[in-house]
Structures are given as C-alpha cells and as structure tokens.
Amino acid sequence: MSAALLEIDDVVARYGQIEALRGVSLMVGEGEAVALVGANGAGKSTLMKCLMGLLAPASGSVRFAGKDITRKATFTRAELGIGYSPEGRHIFQGLTVHENLLVASRDRDGGRGHAEDIYAIFPPLREKTAARGWELSGGQQQMLSIGRALMLRPRLLLLDEPSLGLSPLLMTEVLNRVQDIAARGTAVLLAEQNVHKALSVSHRAYVIKLGRIIKASASSELLADADLTSAFLGAY
Amino acid sequence: MLLQILANALALGAAYALLALGFVLILNATGAVNFAHGDMVMAGGYVAIAMGSVLQLPGALLLPLVVAVMALLGFVFSWFAYFPLKNRPPVSVFISTIALGIIFQNSANAIYGAAPRKGPPLLSEGNFGMGGITIGAQALGIVVVAIVLIVAQHLLLNRSGIGRKLRATAQDREMAEAVGIRVNRMIALTFALGSALAGAAGLMLSNTFFITPTDGTNYVIKAYIAVTIGGWGSLSGAVCGALIIALFEVLFPSLPLLIPPLKIIAPWLFTQTASTILLYVGLLAIMFFRPQGLFGETVQRRV
Ligand SMILES: Nc1ncnc2c1ncn2[C@@H]1O[C@H](COP(=O)(O)OP(=O)(O)OP(=O)(O)O)[C@@H](O)[C@H]1O
Ligand SMILES: [Mg+2]
C-alpha cells in the first residue's frame, strides 16, 4: 500500500440530535482511487463535508499529507490540495464555464493554460466556455464541477456522487474520466450509490452503513462477491 | 426647460445608482440588508466637507481621497457589523447595521451639529451653456463621475480575477471557500467597495442637496426601492431602478411647470410631499404584484 495521504480516525459527526457518522476511520493512499459505497443516508456526503471543513466533527481527527487538518478552515484545505466536487455539483451559476474554472485556479497565469487541460479531459465543456452555469445540462455541470476541482491541482479529489442524475452512458463516461485522473497520480475518494461502477474504477473500497464502516477490501474482491454487495447495500 | 429638468433628474439618478449599486453588492455578498448604507452616503458627504475645508480643493480632486477613506471605513464597518454575526440569521446583521448607522449619525451630529452643511462642488458652481441650453456644471460632473465609477465597477467585477472571486463568493459562499477563495476577505472587500461608491455619491449629493446627520435613512430607503424595482440582487436592475426613482422625483413635481393647466386642475398633487407618497405607493405595488422586480424574470439570478 502507498503512503497515507488522507487518514480519518474515529470521526463522529452530528446534525443536532442525528448522529450521521458514528466513528468512521479510513485511509486513502497517495495516488490511490478509493470508493466509498453505501445506501441513501449512510453518511457519505456527511463524511465529505467533514473532510472539507464544511461540517465540524464532534470528535475524531482528519490528517492530510501528515498534517492534522481537523480544525482547519475550508480554504486552507483547498490550498493544501484537496479538491471537492460536491453532491449536487454546486457550480457557480452566474459565472461562465471558463470563469468557473479560472476562479478555482492558483496558477500564475490565472489558470488559462490549465483550463485547456480540463477541456481536453472533458471536450463537451470546450464548446460551452462562454455559457453560464445555469445554461448547462446535468452532465456538463458534473464535468465542470470535477474540472473546477482539478483546477487547483489537488493531491486528493473528493467526488460526491458524480453519477447522480446522469444517463448510464454519460455516467460511464464521467467515471472513466475519474479513472484516468487517478491513473495520472491524483488520489480520489469517490462516494457512490452506484456500487458496480464505483468498484470497477477504484482500487479499494469501504462500505458505509448508518454512519459506520462495515467493510473494507479491494474493489475487485467486493465486486466478485456480488451477493455480499447486495446484502450490504440492498438491491443493487 | 425640459432638458434642464432631465439633466437634473439624470444627475440625481446617477448618484442614486452609485448608492444602489453598493447596496446590492453588499446584499449579494452577505445575503443581508445593510441599513447603514445610507449613512455611508452621509459620512462621505462629511468626509468631503472636512477634507475640503483643510485642503481647499474642488470635489473632483477630493473624490479619490474620499473614496479611499470610505473604503477603509466600509472595511472597518464590516468587522463590527457583519463578521461577529455572520453565522446568525440575516436579520441580526440588519439590526447591527441599524445600530452602527445610529452611532454614525450621532457622531456626525456631535462633530458637525444638526444644521445642513454644503459639500464642495466637483468643479465650480457655474453652468455650462451649450447651443442655447444651460446645464449645471455639478449635474454634468455627477453624471460623468458616476459613469466612470459604474464602468470601473463593472470591469472590476467581470474582467478581473478578483472580480470573479467576488462574484463566486456572492453566489455560493461555501463552494467559494471550497475552491480556495478567502471568502471573509472577499466580503470585507465588498463592504469597502460598496461604501466607497456610497461615499462618492455622498460627496456629490452634499453639494446639490446639502447634508445633515440624519439624511442616511432617506438614502438607504431610496437604494432599497431602486433594488426592489430593478429586481432583488440584480446590478443592472439597481441602476435602472435608481434612474427611474430620480426621474420620478424630479419630473413629477415639475409637471405643472411643463404643462401649466395641471397647476389649476390639481395643485395639491404635484408637490414634493405627494410625490414622495406616490413613490412609496409604487414601491408597495411592485412588492405586491411583481415581487421579482419590474425587470426581474421569475426567480432572480445573481449575475
Ligand atoms: N443538513 C442535515 N440536517 C440534518 N440531518 C442531515 C443533514 N444532512 C444529512 N442528514 C442526515 O444524516 C444522515 C447521513 O446523510 P448523508 O447525506 O451523509 O448520506 P449519504 O450517504 O450522502 O446519502 P445519499 O446517498 O442519499 O447522498 C442521514 O440520516 C441524513 O438524514
Ligand atoms: Mg450524499
């Protein structure tokens, strides 16, 4: 296993009375693609928010690249190299596609050069550079959301349900790009309800249920054990 | 005659536009109404008067200084009125801005007293004659300054990296921070920018209409009406709304001058008081029947 880039230790998170995470521990290695699979309400998005500092954990710790970032501000985490594509995409609606990319860049040239790389990864965006966020289709928004997260040249990419609302064809397309991104050395933590596809593009996987990690193994192993997958996750 | 009235309306509208733009920028960035925004106009007027009496310079040269001082004041203001309360409901910020506004008013009263003061003119008090029509130098100056500032504001917001960050912050604060933008810095900057625009308006209005410590309330309500007319959150709408208000305020009471029979039919209708009442009736009507503003389409998008 590669050196640990992200280490989550016994994280508990609450929304008021609801305990959404009940002591989650997991690890993502440098350049590794890790899937986080689980049913509706299992706590996947909650964990992503804790990692990004958008929700403060009640206890537990998060370490990134050897630093304790549990109490760090959200923008600091971005600066340290965590890219985030949230559930629901959250692209900047009033900014154009190109502006959505540039605004996330920390490059000297304002990101103009790097934006070209993003258009190479997601060609449909190239035809829409001047379109406003709200003019995009769901698939284009998803591509833009991932592309924007890549603009800060992250060491770790957090992807929360990129397949949500996409056609099977488009979903395959987007997840294949995710696989490419990981192959080029960016670590990926991919939260998905779409278990089969998520497992097929990742190295390892964690199964989360009711705020607890109930299984951790190689993706190929989980994938082979189809019965196990459906037992843990319901009808998939 | 009509041209002169229109020139005055345009000048007033231009000053209101600066005021309304700052108001809506802060509204978009924070989601909260800054009720002290009118007091920034008042403060700008007094800063201009203070600097003018020391430096003995015309308003046009004082303008950059007033803008800088007011930007600093807006920056400091945000640390007291906004940041301590930013995680509370927007109404808390609304209340804290009212409180700070009252402090501003009382400070101005303590320093300058309640009597109206006159600010320095941009260039001179004279008139420009052009082909038989005369237009006040101040009115012309206000329009020119406002156009320059509005264009500068537009370029800053839409053509610069910092402008992209300001807009991203206004649209989605959490996501802006998640892409590495220092959101608090952007919001403080927005307060600085908005207050600077209000201060510029204050410098110019204080010459034409004088200034008293309590003028702010009137001005912030004008900004509020302009934004309601133009569509909540829309920058271009705010400018249009400001022009419409000014046109109404200037044109309506002078209708009898243009159409003498009106003076006989309904003299009570074309007074300053009646026109103010009508303006507020119009505001209520828009709020009831077109909550998205006169120009806004369905749900307002913040662009
Ligand atoms: N803002 C919130 N306020 C209160 N409870 C919440 C909030 N967000 C999530 N929850 C609760 O926390 C639990 C975990 O939710 P979370 O969104 O993390 O699940 P998820 O695994 O991402 O689900 P999905 O696959 O549907 O996106 C759920 O029980 C949910 O109802
Ligand atoms: Mg989720």
Closest Cβ opposite residue B179 in set A93, A104, A132 = A104
Asked whether residue B92 is domain-assigned, the answer is: yes
ipTM: 0.93
Ligand number, closest to the Cα atom of A207: 1
Chain A from 51 to 90: CB within 8 A of any B CB: 52, 54, 73-75, 78-79, 84, 86, 90
Asked whether residue B241 is domain-assigned, the answer is: no
Whether A103 and B181 lie within 8 Å, measured CB to CB: yes
pLDDT tens-digit series, residues B278-298? 888 888 888 888 877 777 654
Asked whether residue B275 is domain-assigned, the answer is: no
Question: Which residue in chain B has the smallest CA separation from A81?
Answer: B180
Ligand 1 pocket residue status of A41, Cβ below 6 Å: yes
Asked whether residue B46 is domain-assigned, the answer is: yes
User: What is the extent of the structural domain holding B128?
Assistant: 2-212
Asked whether residue B190 is domain-assigned, the answer is: yes
Q: Give pTM, 2 decimals.
A: 0.91
Evaluate whether B193 touches B23 at the Cβ level (below 8 Å). no
Asked whether residue B293 is domain-assigned, the answer is: no
Q: What spacing in Å lies between the alpha carbon of A160 and ligand 1's midpoint? A: 12
pLDDT tens-digit series, residues B206-255? 999 999 999 999 999 999 999 998 888 899 999 999 999 999 999 888 88
For ligand 1, atom 30: residue with the closest CA? A41
Asked whether residue B195 is domain-assigned, the answer is: yes
Q: Scanning the structure block, which residue is given the tokens 């310079």? A: B57
Ligand 1 pocket residue status of A88, Cβ below 6 Å: no
Count up the domains in chain B and report the number: 1
Mean pLDDT of A211-220: 93
Ligand number, closest to the Cα atom of A42: 1
Chain A from 106 to 135: CB within 8 A of any B CB: 106, 110, 132, 134
Evaluate whether A28 touches A187 at the Cβ level (below 8 Å). yes
Q: What spacing in Å lies between the alpha carbon of B187 and ligand 1's midpoint? A: 29
Mean pLDDT of B159-169: 96
Query: What's residue A227's pLDDT?
Result: 63
Asked whether residue B234 is domain-assigned, the answer is: no
Beta-carbon contacts of B143 under 8 Å, excluding residues fewer than 6 positions away, are B7, B10, B11, B14
Which DSSP symbol is given to B301?
A: P
- The yes-or-no verdict on residue A141 having pLDDT over 90 is yes
For β-strands A212-218 and A33-37, DSSP reports them as: unpaired
From the CB of residue B176, how many other CB atoms can be counted at a distance below 10 Å? 26
